[in-house]
């Protein structure tokens, strides 16, 4: 029988073991692992078993973390040259790779995602985020202007980038290490110090990264981690702390708005990567098989828990029926299963709470009269997996753009498929949504590809691909999907203050 016992990461300093073998995940403050004000349980998405106890940081621990981060700005970290910091960032990337299997185990334990996904995407990107931003800061261009002065001697102006200071980093649970290092990498590359608040659902890889920081010789206080929840907990304490100079956030749009309000006190800058309701647009002239494969990935990768994932599929009418049939076959071929089974294509959702939300949309779609092409419920799992957060991959037709299924972010393995008749119509319908994160356009018509990409109101438009991206490019959302862009030199706009120096000659 297929059953599973919870597995956790290999236990270094970041996770001592309590009685009963349950790891204790502590805050990482000033280079040390510290308790919080109470412990909360982290449960496995696979079977709801407790897999770790996590130390929740209260105001006192958050304050200690911010103080440590501030002190570190004025210590050896603050006097390092860019090249010295670059070496540290390379060492961090190497350190993650050296502990690859530990990161893999920790990420998979927390999320339940297929190991193949974490092995090929989450953990390698965790390392790459340090390497890429090391290369970016090594090659930052600076501005220089000569000017004339009334006395004829002239003056020169040059711009310098300085760290913004202590950066608060608030992270989600869907790609925990990837999305955390996506912020920590550039923040450290620019000479800042950070206090990270990982999601309460995924504390382990952030904690483990503390060990890598210490092993790489990163000075104490440069990287700090405080665990806990949002309101009334570490998230709120961090974002309202006056010692935090800038806040970078990834998560739901509603949470981003709350964080923006908190940041207004003290007029602190925010970078917000938020929700999406992304459209795939499939033209009849597409490479059919590529469009099917890409759309299946964009709907179901990571059990649909990818901000860039597709939840609306617009298909040009001549190929509509054939495309729906192909997506149905693909969804039904996805193997639901355990992370370490190489055949697994779909893992559980992150938690029972999130499953309730996703299933409420499955119920709503049925109530609204959607045609359920496939799925729509809960798979029959064996043994203790019955307690896990599993849902079926689900496709619907028969609802319009104004239904909540087409408008609201569900963040599960599901999509509404709708036909369209013209390019102008599909652009208008795709844009008629409060979100504006990403789109995937499937067509072999070159001019149409460019026209549609230019017209869709999103931060990222893919043509004949999905999730493909050079990390030097701008990343972020339009409309309610985000504020600001990160990636490559764009990250420097957020993580540095530009200062002009004018020298009279
Ligand atoms: P969430 O907004 O619920 O939580 C994100 C983080 O914010 C967590 O660490 C949480 O504890 C913290 N938090 C919650 N309330 C807070 C508050 N008032 N003050 C401070 N911190 C607070 O998001 P989630 O459920 O973890 O992640 C899923 C969401 O993230 C989806 O909406 C998804 O689209 C979005 N997301 C967006 C991107 C992007 O790049 N645009 C990437 C990944 C995920
Ligand atoms: O690839 C990235 O850098 C990135 N920020 C991806 C976001 C995925 C959202 O779930």
What Å distances lie between residue 52 and 20, 49, 200, 204, CA to CA?
Answer: 11, 9, 11, 9
Given a contact cutoff of 8 angstroms between Cβ atoms, the answer to whether 215 and 188 are in contact is: no
C-beta of 232 in contact with ligand 1 (< 6 A): no
86: CA distance to ligand 1 center in Å?
Answer: 29
| Predicted local confidence at residue 8, as pLDDT | 45
> What percent of the chain has pLDDT above 90?
95
Substitution site in 250, 308, 350 for ligand 2 pocket (most atoms within 8 Å of beta carbon):
308
What Å distances lie between residue 190 and 8, 164, 184, 227, 389, CA to CA?
Answer: 33, 9, 10, 24, 39
Substitution site in 57, 125, 172, 433 for ligand 1 pocket (most atoms within 8 Å of beta carbon):
172
Atom of ligand 2 at shortest range from CA of 471: 3
Atom of ligand 2 at shortest range from CA of 487: 3
Q: What is the DSSP letter of 120?
A: I
Beta strands (DSSP E) in 68-175 are: 144-147, 155-163, 166-170
Q: Residue 455 is inside which H or E element, if any?
A: helix 446-455
User: Residue of the nearest CA to atom 9 in ligand 2?
Assistant: 307
CATH 3.40.50.10420 matches 12-274+481-502: no
The torsion of the CA quartet 95, 98, 99, 101, rounded to 10 degrees, works out to 150
Across the chain, mean pLDDT equals 96
Question: For tokens 């964009």, what's the residue?
Answer: 298
Residues of the chain with CATH 3.40.309.10: 278-470
Distance CA 33, CA 64 (A): 12
Is residue 263 over pLDDT 50? yes
391: CA distance to ligand 1 center in Å?
Answer: 21
Residues of the chain with CATH 3.40.605.10: 12-274+481-502
Phi, psi of 55 (to 5 degrees): -80, 110
Q: What value does the mean pLDDT take over residues 40-56? A: 98
Distance CA 271, CA 268 (A): 10
User: Residue of the nearest CA to atom 3 in ligand 2?
Assistant: 182
Is residue 154 over pLDDT 80? yes
C-beta of 211 in contact with ligand 1 (< 6 A): no
179: CA distance to ligand 2 center in Å?
Answer: 6
Q: What value does the mean pLDDT take over residues 58-74? A: 98
Least confidently predicted of 134-143, 148-157, 492-501:
134-143
Distance CA 273, CA 250 (A): 5
Is residue 157 over pLDDT 60? yes
The torsion of the CA quartet 294, 297, 298, 301, rounded to 10 degrees, works out to -170
423: CA distance to ligand 1 center in Å?
Answer: 34
C-beta of 173 in contact with ligand 1 (< 6 A): yes
Extract the tokens encoding 72: 């570190």
C-beta of 411 in contact with ligand 1 (< 6 A): yes
Which residues are identified as catalytic? 273, 307
Q: What is the DSSP letter of 484?
A: S
User: Where does 278-470 sit in CATH, by number?
Assistant: 3.40.309.10
> What percent of the chain has pLDDT above 70?
97
Phi, psi of 499 (to 5 degrees): -120, 135
Is residue 356 over pLDDT 90? yes
| Predicted local confidence at residue 9, as pLDDT | 47
pLDDT digits (tens, 9 = 90+) for 421-446: 999 999 999 999 999 999 999 999 99
Burial of 402 (0-12, 13-18, 19+ CB in 10 A): exposed
| Predicted local confidence at residue 330, as pLDDT | 98
């Amino acid at each position: 029988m297929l059953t599973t016992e919870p597995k956790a990461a290999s236990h270094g300093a970041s996770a001592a073991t309590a009685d009963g073998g349950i790891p204790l995940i502590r805050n990482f403050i000033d280079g040390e692992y510290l308790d919080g004000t109470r412990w909360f349980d982290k449960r496995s998405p696979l079977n709801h078993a407790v897999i770790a106890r996590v130390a929740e940081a209260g105001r006192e621990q958050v304050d200690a973390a911010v103080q440590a981060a501030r002190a570190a700005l004025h210590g050896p970290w603050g006097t390092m040259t860019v090249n010295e910091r670059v070496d540290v960032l390379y060492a961090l990337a190497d350190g993650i790779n050296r502990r690859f299997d530990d990161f893999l185990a920790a990420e998979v334990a927390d999320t339940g995602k297929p190991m193949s996904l974490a092995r090929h995407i989450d953990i390698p990107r965790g390392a790459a985020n340090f390497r890429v931003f090391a290369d970016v800061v090594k090659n930052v261009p600076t501005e220089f202007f000569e000017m004339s002065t009334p006395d004829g001697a002239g003056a020169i102006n040059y711009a310098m980038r300085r760290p913004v200071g202590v950066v608060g980093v608030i992270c989600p649970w869907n790609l925990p290490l990837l999305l955390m290092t996506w912020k920590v990498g550039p923040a450290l590359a620019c000479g800042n110090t950070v206090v990270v608040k990982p999601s309460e659902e995924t504390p382990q890889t952030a904690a483990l990264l503390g060990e890598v920081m210490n092993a790489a010789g990163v000075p104490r206080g440069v990287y700090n981690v405080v665990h806990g929840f949002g309101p009334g907990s570490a998230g709120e304490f961090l974002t309202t702390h006056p010692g935090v100079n800038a806040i970078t956030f990834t998560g739901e749009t509603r949470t981003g708005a709350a964080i923006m309000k908190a940041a207004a006190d003290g007029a602190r800058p925010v970078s917000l990567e938020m929700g999406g309701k992304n459209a795939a647009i499939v033209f009849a002239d597409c490479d059919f098989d590529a469009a099917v494969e890409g759309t299946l990935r964009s709907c179901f990768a990571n059990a649909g828990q990818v901000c860039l994932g597709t939840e609306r599929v617009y298909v040009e009418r001549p190929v509509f029926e054939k495309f729906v049939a192909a997506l149905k076959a693909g969804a039904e071929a996805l193997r639901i299963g355990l992370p370490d089974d190489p055949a697994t294509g779909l893992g559980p959702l992150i938690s029972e709470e999130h499953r309730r939300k996703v299933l409420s949309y499955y119920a709503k779609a049925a109530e609204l009269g959607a045609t359920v092409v496939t799925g729509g419920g809960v798979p029959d799992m064996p043994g203790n997996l019955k307690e896990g957060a599993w849902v079926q991959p689900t496709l619907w037709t028969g609802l319009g753009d104004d239904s909540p299924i087409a408008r609201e972010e569900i963040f599960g393995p599901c999509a509404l498929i709708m036909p369209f008749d013209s390019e102008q119509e599909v652009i208008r319908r795709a844009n008629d949504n409060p979100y504006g994160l990403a789109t995937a356009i499937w067509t072999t018509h070159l001019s149409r590809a460019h026209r549609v990409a230019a017209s869709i109101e999103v931060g990222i438009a893919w043509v004949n691909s999905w999730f493909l991206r050079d990390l030097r490019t701008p990343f972020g959302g339009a409309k309610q999907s985000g504020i600001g862009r990160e990636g490559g030199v764009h990250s420097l706009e957020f993580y540095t203050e530009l200062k002009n120096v004018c020298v009279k000659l």
